Structure 1
Amino acid sequence: MRGEPIPRYYLYGDQGEDVELDFLHIEAIRERSGANYWRISPHSHPDHTQVLLVREGGGVIRMEEKALPIEPPAVIVIPAGIVHQINFLAGTDGYVVTASLGCLRRAAAGDARLDVAVARPGVYPLAGTGLNTAAVEDTFTWLHREFIWSAPGRRTVIMAQCMRILVMILRLSISRDDGGIAAPNRDYDLLVRYRALLESHFRDQRSLGFYAEALAVTRARLNAACKSRAGKTASDLLHERIVIEAKRHLVYSENSVAQIAHMIGFDDPAYFNRFFTQRVGIAPGAFRREARRSAE
């Protein structure tokens, strides 16, 4: 009898497919973990990275094959696609940040060092690192306050605090060279490298053959890795990235649909309309109108 597959979650218990480019969520650890008897069953987040600040309590986290103790105060980095399980001590508290890969790319602002640091799983106790613990806690607290408080400039402040967290992770990864790092497998490594290539080429390269050749694997091997770690084919991930970029332009720019089509690599705006409609369920213009109505 075959076992049940490890669940893939949007958030801990919420499954979903449509991942927005700038999505970020933060909540207190006790909100979900307490309700689940302080135990988080094995699962992964194919499109989101999680960063935890554990202020008090502790426990053990298993990432892939390795179990790591949580000794607060500590920061935990769980990159997208990493299977993890957490057994918290009762009463553990702190924050859980769940951020889409696109959100992290925006916050990194082109600094490759930040991208690399947040893609590395690990548990980082703050003691002895030189980081100011009060400042670390203040960053998470401020992010949480802005997340639940609708005030002018909210979006800008959230991204600024997210960038601060990425810088903290970079410094922690340098101060703790091993970081108790859990070693991902080859499928995970291939998926990470494929997603990095997508960021550079999704506007002008639609052929999986291009990506497979650049990664020195076959298309079948690339597909197998994507299915294993993200639950989607390589083509699904490519098309998802194109759609996310289109949505971002539709919501945050004044460019026409035809202009947006050309900006993301479509020579024929009519084909872009069909591509978008097939995958989103409504035409680009209708998506823009709905998004703007909901923001009013």
Structure 2
Amino acid sequence: MIPHYFLYEEAAPKVEPSFLHIEPIPVRSGRHDWTIRTHSHPDHHQLLAISKGGGEIEIEGQTWELSPPALVIVPALTIHAIRFEPGTDGYVITVAPPFLQAALDGDPELVDGFAAPRRFLPQQIGEDIDLIGLFAALAHEFVWSAPGRRSAIKAYLQLLAVAVRRLRAQEQARPVALARDIETVMRFRELVEKHYRQHPPLDFYARRLGVTTARLNACCRLATGKSSLALINDRLITEAKRNLLYSDMTVNEIGAALGYEDPAYFNRFFARNAGLPPGRFRDSLIPEETRANGSVRRRA
């Protein structure tokens, strides 16, 4: 039998069941070893905002990975379980549908956003919606016994519902928008291929593509899940690894060929992105390659 809770492992509500409850994720998940076992909330919706960490949620037979910033909507009666990474942070809102409807003035466009399980990830949320800021402001009002507290909570709940509605609209428009984004990213990659060794600023690429740096970054995140800078760094790391594996160049020579005048800076850049310094990377992989085909020579 699937257990039903108001709050996880609390059969009876300790706060107004017709109102709303919000708490940081570590408050409850931390003391349960970051695992929320299968359950449902028969009379309440939940909204989860993840600002740090991540994990995965099993919801109605599906498993969704969670990467911050992420928003998850769990409607009432939805069976779900969550496994957070230790140290995950964010907020959980538990809200009664009647209070939600009243707060949203019964606006069907806003209320419908909570009718089905939904997940919004970083590439969807972008930088235009301060999701965590809205949750934090609502949490502040929830614990603050100040005049107008209930009205303030309703106002922030309205703003969250509007954010969800706009995210849904972006989802509906994504097929056409994503095609344009992919084209922009393809042209960006072509420019990176020509210029990555010279390390031009992002504005250099954005101006040639006819977009702002913020728009370029958004296109890259939507199409690849990575920032524009991360894609440039990936190309540099790929070339560095290729030279380390298949050339006779020293580490300093490779760094210089990739536009790094300071060998120490190149070493730090490589270690930060590859997980170990270039010399150790070469030592760990080239002997195996040499055994495989006998064709690779290397120098320190």
Q: Which band: TM-score by shorter chain?
A: 0.5 to 0.7
Distance 1:18 1:39, change over 3 A: closer
2:83 pairs with 1:87: yes
Please list, as runs of the form range in 1=range in 2, the aligned pairs for 1:95-106 lying within 5 A after superposition.
95-106=91-102
Contact 1:20 1:100 in 2 (8 A): no
The structure that has the greater radius of gyration is 2
Whose RCO is larger (CA < 8 A, sep 6+)?
1
Structure 1 runs of 4+ aligned residues shifted over 6 Å read: none
Q: Deviations over 1:220-266 (max 9, x none)?
A: xxxxxxxxxxxxxxxxxxxxxxxxxxxxxxxxxxxxxxxxxxxxxxx
Q: Please, which runs of 5 or more residues in structure 2 have no aligned partner?
A: 175-300
2:112 alignment partner in structure 1 = 116
* 18 and 129 in structure 1: CA distance in 2 versus 1, 3 angstrom threshold: closer
In the TM superposition, what are the counterparts of 1:3-82 in structure 2 within 5 Å?
5-16=1-12, 22-82=18-78
Give CA deviations for 1:14-65 in whole Å, capped at 9, x if unaligned.
Answer: 1138996741000000000010000000000000000011001001101011
> CA contact under 8 A between 1:118 and 1:170: conserved in structure 2?
no
Report the equivalent of 1:190.
none
Distance 1:34 1:17, change over 3 A: closer
Partner in structure 2 of residue 164 of structure 1: 159
- How many residue pairs were aligned? 174
Q: Structure 1, unaligned stretches of length 5 or more?
A: 180-296
**Structure 1 residues 26 and 95: alpha-carbon distance in aligned structure 2, compared to 1, 3 A threshold:** same
Distance 1:79 1:129, change over 3 A: same
**Mapping of 1:168-207 within 5 angstroms?**
168-177=163-172
Judged with a 3 Å threshold, the aligned counterparts in structure 2 of structure 1 residues 122 and 128 are, in CA distance, closer, same or farther, namely: closer
CA distance in 1, matches of 2:74, 2:66: 13
How big is the shift at 1:175?
Answer: 1.9
Taking only aligned residues, the RMSD between alpha carbons, in angstroms, comes to: 2.2
**Which residue type is aligned with residue 24 of structure 1?**
L
Query: SS at 1:163's partner residue?
Result: helix
How far has the Cα of 1:76 moved from its partner? 0.6
Q: Are the counterparts in 2 of residues 19 and 100 from structure 1 also a CA contact under 8 Å?
A: no
TM-score of the aligned structures, taking structure 2 as reference length: 0.55
Q: Which residue of 2 aligns with 1:145?
A: 140
Q: Supply the AA of the counterpart residue of 1:46.
A: P
Q: Distance in 1 between matches of 2:102 and 2:132?
A: 22
Q: State the 1:168 CA deviation.
A: 1.2
Report the Cα offset of residue 167 of structure 1.
Answer: 1.1
Identity %: 40
Per-residue deviation at 1:97?
0.4
| Structure with the bigger percentage of helix | 2
Separation (CA, whole Å) in 2 of partners of 1:110 and 1:56? 33
Secondary structure at the aligned position of 1:95 is classed as: strand
Q: Residues of 2 paired with 1:46 and 1:37: CA distance? A: 24
* Paired letter, 1:162: L
Q: How high is the TM-score relative to the length of structure 1?
A: 0.55
Q: Displacement of 1:131 after TM fit?
A: 5.3
Distance in 2 (CA, whole Å) between partners of 1:131 and 1:118 is 22
CA contact (8 A) 1:10 1:16 kept: yes
In the other structure, the counterpart of 1:200 is none
CA 64–178 in structure 1, closer or farther in 2 if over 3 Å, else same: farther
Secondary structure of 2:139's aligned partner: helix
Q: How far apart are the structure 2 equivalents of 1:126 and 1:47?
A: 29
